[in-house]
Amino acid sequence: MDTFIQLFLSGISAGCVYGLVAMGFVLIYKSTEVVNFSQGDLVMLGAFFAVTFSQWLNGNYWLAVVFTVMAMACLGYGVERILFRRLMGEPPFSVLMVTIGLGFVLRAVAGMIWGHDPQSMSTPYSDARLAWGDFLLPVRDLVVIFGTLILSVILFIFFKSSRIGLTMQAVSQNQFAAYCVGIPVKRVLALTWALSATIAGVAGILLVPIKSAYPQLGLLLGIKAFAAAIVGGFGSLPGALMGGLLIGVLEEMTKFYIDPVLEFGVSEFSAYILLLVILLIRPQGLITSMQRKKV
Amino acid sequence: MLIADNLTCSFGGVKAVDQLSFVVNHGDIFSIIGPNGAGKTTVLNLFSRFYNADKGEIWLEDDNITKISASAVAKKGIARTFQNVELFERETVLQNLLIAQHIHRTTNLVTECLFVGLARRQEIRFRETAEHVIDLLHLEQYRDAVTGSLPFGVRKLVEIGRALCLRPRLLLMDEPSSGLNPEETEDLGHWIEDINQDLDVTIVMVEHDMSLIGRVASRVLAMADGRLLTIGTPKEVENHPEVIEAYLGC
């Protein structure tokens, strides 16, 4: 039972990261109807920023976190302003191709700046473990879980109460109507990109003590998070988080219980099996918030 | 109140609006008519700043609004409804009316998230305005209904309500009676008159229903192929030879 709980918590921890990246996917998709395939690479940049700021600030973890979040927000805002603002009104498929291209560029640039070797970062909790009888859990996993929980609560309050959160929701539902009630749609879209990049940055910060930072970090992560977003319904932030958690737990469980039996890495593609099953039995995803378009 | 001065707007080689000039006076219910493709909705889209004019100017009283952003139009006191209804479909009627008051917010991120003091008083004020509009348009039974699930006629009313929540001085309406049955069109005529007279809102509406226009419009502009044909009372315009020719082609 202890092993099961330990695996479950590890799965939740991994799932939180998938969930955060999936929330980034959903945010951009709801506002612009474009899937940002560079979302995983933004996580990679967040991880590298955290490592770099930590080095510059002599290992001051918390200041590095603040600087990383700010840098990622600026980066997201800038990417929309410089790149995606020019593509407004273009077919979604063209914009989608640009997001794939952006991912390639970000990986290449990260390789040029930071090299291709994994870079780790020391945190106040790097090697700490929580012991409870036979039960051992790395504190870094708990930090990921609580970090995600805190961010989710902040996002909930932000979208429910703040003017900018409400305008983001309004823009995601109807840009014409948003213009008519005086919402500066273009600025709100830029802020949505900033928020999405910030969430990716937080995911990077939480991930770097576990996986280190390297240019390909976001590639597989992005694909699995994309699956998580679809499992969750691709229109709902709680759904995206739930999809991420499901995939994280499933991976950990299959890695421990099924891989040794089959002598085969089922855990590597368990996320996609879950995706196929969900699409077969509930194509709209776990939480439905998307609407059919009336023509 | 609203002046269109020599407005021209082209899409490729097609001139949708061609050197159009007219004045809408304060208190008018000003209707724009014309056959399909005459450029009527383009005129509204120019006023809403969804389109840029190639030439000409738009003045709202002393403000030149020809080049302001589309989102700044609402702040100038211009509200808009659409032929096919553009609402926040996943929100309730009440939430649509509350979102519309966005431009009147004076709070900041911190007070909004903590929901104290000014934010609380502001929310109460917005709710009062929304309830007043709900009463005016008899939307009480739909207050908490998600707008996407409502019948078309009700959604049209909600859109008018949302426009009123902006507290506008000018209301642009694009074919308000399209898709409505005769009873709903009859009611619409009353709402338009009430909004114009009781709330002192000047109205510019693109409309096809001549009986509605004859009942509520104070002045009518007829256009064809982007150009002005005539301006006058509904009766004068209806009997104008160029208008008859544009509609009947004879």
| Pair A191, A28: CB distance under 8 Å | no
How many other β-carbons are positioned within 10 Å of the β-carbon of residue A239?
27
Residues of B in contact with A180 (CB under 8 A): 48, 73-74, 79-80, 86, 163
Residues of B in contact with A173 (CB under 8 A): 88-91
Residues of A in contact with B48 (CB under 8 A): 179-180
Query: What are B4-24's pLDDT values in tens digits?
Result: 999 999 998 888 999 999 999
Mutate which: B51, B84, B109, B112, vs A, most A CBs within 10 A? B112
| Interface predicted TM-score (ipTM) | 0.86
* B1-77+168-250 CATH pick, 3.40.50.720, 2.60.40.10, 2.40.37.10, 3.40.50.300: 3.40.50.300
Structure tokens at A66: 């603040």
Structure tokens at B226: 């982007």
Mutate which: A166, A169, A179, A187, vs B, most B CBs within 10 A? A179
> For A213, which DSSP code?
B
Q: Using CA coordinates, name the residue in chain A closest to B110.
A: A162
Angle, vertex CA B217, rays to CA B196 and CA B59, nearest 5: 70
Check CB contact under 8 Å for A291 and B70: no
Rg of chain A (C-alpha set):
19
Q: Are strands B14-24 and B2-11 parallel, antiparallel or unpaired?
A: antiparallel
Mutate which: B90, B93, B101, B174, vs A, most A CBs within 10 A? B90
Structure tokens at B12: 């490729």
Categorise residue A130: left if φ over 0, alpha if ψ from -120 to 50, beta otherwise.
beta
Element (H, E) at A178: helix A175-180
Contacting A with CB below 8 Å, chain B residues are 48, 50, 69-75, 79-80, 82, 86-91, 99-100, 102-103, 105, 107, 109, 112-113, 115, 148, 162-163, 166
Nearest to B109 among A164, A169, A180 (CB): A164
Q: What is the mean pLDDT of chain A?
A: 90
Per-residue model confidence (pLDDT) at position A291: 52
Query: A290 to chain B nearest CA, in Å?
Result: 9
Check CB contact under 8 Å for A181 and B103: yes
How many other β-carbons are positioned within 10 Å of the β-carbon of residue B198?
9
Amino acid in position B126:
F
Q: Under 8 Å CB-to-CB from B127, ≥6 apart: which residues?
A: B98
How many other β-carbons are positioned within 10 Å of the β-carbon of residue A132?
9
Residues of B in contact with A31 (CB under 8 A): none
- DSSP of A99-150, one letter per residue? HHHHHHHHHHHHHHHH-SS-B----TTTT-EEEETTEEEEHHHHHHHHHHHH
**Residue B226, Cβ density class (10 Å: 0-12 exposed, 13-18 middle, ≥19 buried):** buried
Contacting B with CB below 8 Å, chain A residues are 157-158, 161-164, 166-167, 169-170, 173-174, 176-185, 289, 291
Per-residue model confidence (pLDDT) at position A261: 87
Residue identified by tokens 């395939």 is A37
Query: What are A182-199's pLDDT values in tens digits?
Result: 999 999 999 999 999 999
| Pair B234, B217: CB distance under 8 Å | yes
Residues of B in contact with A161 (CB under 8 A): 112-113, 115
Q: Are strands B63-64 and B55-60 parallel, antiparallel or unpaired?
A: antiparallel
Q: What percent of chain B has pLDDT over 70?
A: 99
Per-residue model confidence (pLDDT) at position A236: 86
Mutate which: B99, B103, B115, B122, vs A, most A CBs within 10 A? B99
**How far is it, in rounded angstroms, from Cα B49 to Cα B73?**
7
**How far is it, in rounded angstroms, from Cα A25 to Cα A226?**
7
**Local confidence band at A295 (pLDDT 50, 70, 90 cut-offs):** very low
Q: Under 8 Å CB-to-CB from B228, ≥6 apart: which residues?
A: B20, B21, B22, B221, B222
Query: What are A44-80's pLDDT values in tens digits?
Result: 999 999 999 999 998 899 999 999 999 999 999 999 9
Query: What are B198-225's pLDDT values in tens digits?
Result: 999 999 999 988 899 999 999 999 998 9
Check CB contact under 8 Å for A177 and B88: yes
Helix axes A217-232, A237-253, angle to 10 degrees: 120
Element (H, E) at A35: none
| Pair B57, B68: CB distance under 8 Å | no
| Pair A38, A75: CB distance under 8 Å | no
Query: A262 to chain B nearest CA, in Å?
Result: 47
Structure tokens at B165: 């929540």
**Local confidence band at A6 (pLDDT 50, 70, 90 cut-offs):** confident
**How far is it, in rounded angstroms, from Cα A102 to Cα B67?**
33
Residues of A in contact with B86 (CB under 8 A): 174, 176-177, 180
Per-residue model confidence (pLDDT) at position B103: 85
Please state the φ and ψ torsions of residue B219, each to the nearest 5 degrees: -140, 155
Structure tokens at A185: 């749609």
Q: Under 8 Å CB-to-CB from B129, ≥6 apart: which residues?
A: B97, B101, B165, B167
Check CB contact under 8 Å for A162 and B73: no
Measured in whole angstroms, the distance separating CA B137 from the mean position of its chain's CA atoms is 16
Residues of B in contact with A185 (CB under 8 A): 70-71
Structure tokens at B186: 């009859």
**How far is it, in rounded angstroms, from Cα A133 to Cα A11?**
20
In sequence order, the β-bridge partners of residue B227 are: B224
Q: Using CA coordinates, name the residue in chain B closest to A157.
A: B113
| Pair A49, A119: CB distance under 8 Å | no
Query: What are B63-84's pLDDT values in tens digits?
Result: 999 999 998 999 999 999 999 8
**How far is it, in rounded angstroms, from Cα A88 to Cα A92?**
9
Mutate which: B75, B85, B97, B113, vs A, most A CBs within 10 A? B113
Q: Using CA coordinates, name the residue in chain B closest to A183.
A: B71
Instruction: Tell me the average pLDDT across A94-108.
Output: 95
In chain B, residues under CATH classification 3.40.50.300 are 1-77+168-250
Per-residue model confidence (pLDDT) at position B247: 77
Nearest to A181 among B69, B72, B99 (CB): B99
**Residue A280, Cβ density class (10 Å: 0-12 exposed, 13-18 middle, ≥19 buried):** exposed
Check CB contact under 8 Å for A167 and B89: no
Of the given ranges (A105-114, B135-144, B240-249), which has the lowest mean pLDDT?
B240-249
**How far is it, in rounded angstroms, from Cα B36 to Cα B39?**
8
Q: Give the number of beta-carbon pairs within 8 Å between A and B.
A: 75
Residues of A in contact with B162 (CB under 8 A): 177, 181
Residues of B in contact with A291 (CB under 8 A): 89-90, 148
Coil vs helix vs strand at A136: strand
In sequence order, the β-bridge partners of residue B79 are: B171
What is the dihedral angle through the alpha carbons of B163, B164, B167, B169, rounded to the nearest 10 degrees?
Answer: 80
